Structure 1
């Protein structure tokens, strides 16, 4: 990995992982039964937390999972490893890379084009992330692959370092903005059985930071959403830092805006200190914004209040990010919609739980140290017989945040004005402020601070919800959900709603596993995990296939000495019943593995290789690395993982 590349990602991680939660809400250690804590300290470990069928004690019996038939691939410790290694009997080939043409008229990728932002608007964006496959009705051999482009790896330009000492060239900033967002591409399985892109499809589309989007829901037109450039507060330009995703039962794509705060700055110290909507989310307060200094060329990203302009200039522009954005992939002319009923924070995903009677819940993590786990329950129910009635179901409902109580029980706390301390005296005069400042509302309500909650995934049969807690190296006080100080490796939590009801306000929870080193290894206790099978660190992306296999993607700095035994980042698969884990794929040095999608028959899988550090996918040691979607198939044509 180049020094510039490594330093940039270390800087991003430092910004994204910083704790800015001032609530002082009790950690789980103060809520849990002391006897359970003593059991953990006394070495009986997680067997005491076996609330679910099978229990964590089943780890010791996990010798041959009925769900996993592939052989594990080995870790890759070579610092020059620059390819994708997949399990024996499978193949993984590059399918879609940054700069590939998407829309008609798009030129081929040019690694040296510093200011050709109009071309980038028609090409694949950078840093592929969460994605989903949408089959055409009645055509399982044909579908739309929709994926996020989370951020950009500088340089997208010939210069090796972004110069923030002077205003940045607007054309460079525009290209970076164009490389954010979403791609929609049509794919088809041909007569020879191979999946290919449909290059001339009318559905192919790029959505970026320059795409107009409608604001919908409780905050549409609210004063806090109005700016000098949008005095009505009804339309915002673009979406950014799109990480994980979700889908709706009516076939739309939900993209989630994660670390949007790193793109804005408010240099007014008095206003910053008083404005919860900036301070609680960690906007920059001096110098330049934390990522790319866009505000030096595009004033929309300078959120310093300007009393000479209507609505204070752009002071409200950060309020227009941090939302769930709904996109209809089958309507290439349709305007994306920001659904404000979901609440605003650094959202990782919107994982759907759908009950037989049409009730829904969408689960999300807020990816920072000591932040929270949320769910949104729409007020209405999905009606497959009435598509028109489903279109605005996401504009009304209840946002909840999780509190994890002792004894393996948990409560969903409603973030509703007038409930759980959310009143004017505490800074919430209406529901608008509750949703705008969902983090601060969760502080007041008494939610449990967690270790970087990231992706959530819902088991397709049991309805259990799994949440990745990636890591927290600043943890000092331990508890049952976070039993290790200086937690470098993270864990996976799972819970089950009371009565299997997505709208339930209580649940059972337990630790599914602790990532890290083997129990008997000669490393400090805080580095040891409880994995049955192949070891890994820092679970990030989670997804279930139709058979109920849990796929786990990792995101850690593979050049950190603490990760020396982990090698390059990985895609693993776990059996939820036995808890056996097997390593299915290893990516090139410097990358993160993120985003999964399957064909309807489960015989094709797409996975994203984000920010590879050497020269992948060319793998020639010379070419600039490119974030790339890989297509994975079995050589015998069978189902992936089976």
Structure 2
């Protein structure tokens, strides 16, 4: 069994709350922690949820007469896997799940094979699949949409397994952590995106096509353009880019989006982990750094890239042009758009959509042709956003659509206690986003999206992650993965949408836009389910769920298939309390009418299940096994583990889930 060395880098700052908001409305819904922990779960939740709790057993949102009948979920549930040495994927009976594309596999022409000893160089890594596969999408070729296409896969971050013996760290004379240049470059090349051409062969087996003119890697060294209101402003100018128009690379690419005009949307999530501003006084005064929790003082960034690559040291240098790299963090946290079918296309960072730790960019098309894009800000106590384009999608004018995301209105959600909701516009000059509060231009609002949302009184959520839109009803679902500080920290009191103290297991919310219009500014919402254990005396009240069917914890990935089945992926620390009886991470399927949940697949110990996409006919499904902890996909007990894309098919050739 390969064991990753004990991490020597600074503690992982992911999901550390940095929201200082103490909006008055939060005080009105603050609750007594002991009441929730000692009292009845039903009584405690009832005071917050009202009709929403009833919704967990079939009530809730008003009926939608346009919705089609519930799709069949025809497979038998897979049992939990509790063994400490469990190192494989198990899928429902009647299906096959095969490793398809792993970290280190060749992508670009000239790539060499992956080395199990971790000795591939950074030059080799830039031509291979990156680490930690996450969000992805299938782009079919028109002539054979179910048998031929491009698979686009995000690579979120790197593990110690990237290097033969883990990362190498030393200390300078003044105590700063230092990294070898080749290790940093290899990590930068293992971030980004892979585009691979794939085809089903005569036997019905999916194969990667290599070489292919479509195959491409985006890394931390790929040139990209800034577009929209922030492009070219003082916010994004640096010593190397005095124009504020070109950025090198994209990183921490978690979930994603896919547009009807054929482009892929890459989301930059925990980009703050890669930067440091050592001037604590400047950091404290600079909301754009402090509000995101960029490292400061004597600390290093999580990866210590700044010891090799100066653009990750955002400490201001007044004697240099644009103070050196103080603005480099402002060039990340955006949505990156590119065309997978054009390998020469320069990716565009669309700044009109705002800057934060974005988990996804899920689209919904309104009847008037305008596009709504939903996103979660994946940190404890952060917000849910929606961007609405100014212009309408033009199916007959594909090139015109490439500018749609540069103009529109960004909103943040407020979930009211009575089950209603409001989309609050993040527009300079409105709702307190004024010169008096430091917002002189729309670029100020977009760079400091979190701070602007604070002023408007948005609802702090329990780590909002993936958003999915029902293709038939247009109802919107979001996963709130967990928040162990909810009701404990004074800045994170309970509220109607986030009702559990020390929320270990998370919940899924759903809402309906007014008039079923994705561009509406009001909505009604309910809690679709509370994840967690079954309701029994030995389970603490705050860990009991309302799941009808197979239990799970920490919902993360969320995706609808074409028939309307809701697929749920999980991400919790298997083997650790309070998850010891929850098994390994899993893929489940829910009927959104009956709320029944069935477990379809379980992954190897230590992994996260993430990324879902399918062929148009629904007969092939791809998902990702991220950071497996043992030796997957070799599953031999000794080989270095590799993040892997898995292809799932039904043995009878039918639709997945049917």
Report the TM range for the smaller structure's normalisation: over 0.9
Determine if contact 1:5/1:153 at 8 Å carries over to the other structure: no
- Residue 356 of structure 1 deviates from its aligned partner by 3.2
Cα 1:270–1:10 change in 2 (3 A) is closer
- Residue 360 of structure 1 deviates from its aligned partner by 1.0
Instruction: Give 1:143's aligned residue.
Output: 149
Residue 283, structure 1, aligned to residue 275, structure 2: no
- Residue 114 of structure 1 deviates from its aligned partner by 4.5
Where in structure 2 are the equivalents of 1:602-617 lying within 5 Å? 602-617=618-633
Tell me which of 228, 235, 255 is aligned to 2:246: 235
Q: Secondary structure at the match of 2:418?
A: helix
Residue 24, structure 1, aligned to residue 29, structure 2: no
Instruction: Give 1:366's aligned residue.
Output: 377
My pick for the range that moved more, 150-159 or 181-190, is 150-159
Q: Secondary structure at the match of 2:311?
A: helix
User: Structure 1 stretches of 5 or more lacking a match?
Assistant: 59-63
Determine if contact 2:257/2:265 at 8 Å carries over to the other structure: yes
Tell me which of 105, 110, 128 is aligned to 2:110: 105
Instruction: Give 1:189's aligned residue.
Output: 200
Q: Deviations over 1:507-540 (max 9, x none)?
A: 0000000000111352110010000000000001
Q: Deviations over 1:332-356 (max 9, x none)?
A: 0111100000000000000001123
- Residue 288 of structure 1 deviates from its aligned partner by 4.2
Instruction: Give 2:35's aligned residue.
Output: none
Cα 1:65–1:564 change in 2 (3 A) is farther
- Residue 24 of structure 1 deviates from its aligned partner by 0.9
Instruction: Give 1:593's aligned residue.
Output: 609
Residue 574, structure 1, aligned to residue 580, structure 2: no
Determine if contact 1:27/1:449 at 8 Å carries over to the other structure: no
Name the CA distance, whole Å, in 2 between partners of 1:520 and 1:554: 22
Residue 118, structure 1, aligned to residue 123, structure 2: yes
Name the CA distance, whole Å, in 1 between partners of 2:383 and 2:432: 17
Name the CA distance, whole Å, in 1 between partners of 2:569 and 2:118: 32
Q: Deviations over 1:29-59 (max 9, x none)?
A: 736999xx9995267696832569942699x
Instruction: Give 2:329's aligned residue.
Output: 318
Instruction: Give 2:51's aligned residue.
Output: 48
Q: Deviations over 1:576-617 (max 9, x none)?
A: 111000000000000000000101110000000000000000
**Aligned residue pair count:** 633
Instruction: Give 2:542's aligned residue.
Output: 526
TM, length-normalised to structure 2: 0.92
Cα 1:2–1:195 change in 2 (3 A) is closer
Name the CA distance, whole Å, in 2 between partners of 1:276 and 1:440: 8
Tell me which of 448, 456, 464 is aligned to 1:445: 456
Residue 621, structure 1, aligned to residue 637, structure 2: yes
- Residue 481 of structure 1 deviates from its aligned partner by 1.7
User: Structure 2 stretches of 5 or more lacking a match?
Assistant: 33-38, 63-68, 173-177, 488-492
Tell me which of 91, 95, 112 is aligned to 2:100: 95
Name the CA distance, whole Å, in 2 between partners of 1:385 and 1:605: 30
Cα 1:42–1:169 change in 2 (3 A) is closer
Residue 435, structure 1, aligned to residue 446, structure 2: yes
Where in structure 2 are the equivalents of 1:184-583 lying within 5 Å? 184-476=195-487, 477-583=493-599
Output the aligned Cα RMSD: 2.4
Name the CA distance, whole Å, in 2 between partners of 1:629 and 1:9: 28
Name the CA distance, whole Å, in 1 between partners of 2:570 and 2:522: 30
TM, length-normalised to structure 1: 0.95
Instruction: Give 1:157's aligned residue.
Output: 163
Cα 1:32–1:509 change in 2 (3 A) is farther
Q: Deviations over 1:176-216 (max 9, x none)?
A: 00000000001111222111111121100000101000111
- Residue 432 of structure 1 deviates from its aligned partner by 0.7
- Residue 65 of structure 1 deviates from its aligned partner by 7.5
Name the CA distance, whole Å, in 2 between partners of 1:292 and 1:43: 41
Determine if contact 2:5/2:166 at 8 Å carries over to the other structure: no
Cα 1:224–1:532 change in 2 (3 A) is same
Name the CA distance, whole Å, in 2 between partners of 1:272 and 1:47: 43
Determine if contact 1:4/1:161 at 8 Å carries over to the other structure: no
Name the CA distance, whole Å, in 1 between partners of 2:166 and 2:110: 29
Cα 1:441–1:200 change in 2 (3 A) is same
Determine if contact 1:33/1:406 at 8 Å carries over to the other structure: no
- Residue 136 of structure 1 deviates from its aligned partner by 1.1
Tell me which of 75, 92, 113 is aligned to 2:80: 75
